[in-house]
Amino acid sequence: MATKTEPDRFDELPTDIDRHGSHRSLGRRRGGVTFAWAALSTGILVLLGTMGLFAYNGKLDVVRFLFPGTVATAKPVPTAVPTIDPKMAIAVLNGTPTQGLATTVGDILSKAGLTVSSRANSSETTVKRTMVFYSAKSAEGAARGACTALKSACLIKLTTAYANSGSPLTMVIGLNFKAPLTQ
């Protein structure tokens, strides 16, 4: 048995308003504004995230980006002057699959005035970069001089890994070595 309820104000809906759902109007203009705000906020978040990743990886100087007029003052790292010291012996190791490269590089260094103590193949034949290792801080200038005499891209590194080689300097020829055109 159905009971009849008294009519109230919710039973009378205006006929000129198109209502949907829980008595909400469709609001056609709000969809575009909402999309524009969502797109803008997404773009800002992506930009901030990208900048954060670059700053974290050290590829973005945030201070210089935010304050373009400022310059960070870093202390210059002192480097030794490249020297050719005939008393400083250097061992040459071939770190590439090219046969005879240690002899060729040894000849180049000898012509430049360096004393080459040994020429041999390295135990590794896939060394990517040519490097000069020096075992004492006082030999940094001689290591830089060996790189300069080679006339090819070369890095230097202070390490005691080659200290027992009998030479204060050890050059390991890498795959990046390009022989000079004139020797």
- The domains of the chain are located at 25-66, 89-173
* pLDDT score recorded for residue 65: 67
Give the integer Cα–Cα distance in Å for 98 and 86.
27
For residue 64, give the H/E element and its range.
helix 62-66
Nearest to 143 by CA among 79, 97, 96: 79
Give mean pLDDT, residues 152-164. 83
What is the pLDDT confidence band of residue 183, given thresholds at 50, 70 and 90? Answer: very low
CATH hierarchy code of domain 89-173:
3.30.70
What is the pLDDT confidence band of residue 28, given thresholds at 50, 70 and 90? Answer: low
What is the pLDDT confidence band of residue 57, given thresholds at 50, 70 and 90? Answer: confident
User: N- to C-terminal Cα distance for the chain?
Assistant: 114
What is the pLDDT confidence band of residue 40, given thresholds at 50, 70 and 90? Answer: very high
| Mean pLDDT of all residues belonging to the chain | 81
Give mean pLDDT, residues 16-28. 59
What is the pLDDT confidence band of residue 55, given thresholds at 50, 70 and 90? Answer: confident
Give mean pLDDT, residues 142-164. 85
Give the integer Cα–Cα distance in Å for 178 and 150.
9
Give the integer Cα–Cα distance in Å for 93 and 120.
5
* pLDDT score recorded for residue 27: 53
> 49 pLDDT exceeds 70?
yes
Torsional sign, CA 14, 19, 22, 27? negative
User: How many residues are listed for the chain in this entry?
Assistant: 183
Torsional sign, CA 8, 10, 12, 14? positive
Nearest to 92 by CA among 51, 124, 132, 48: 132
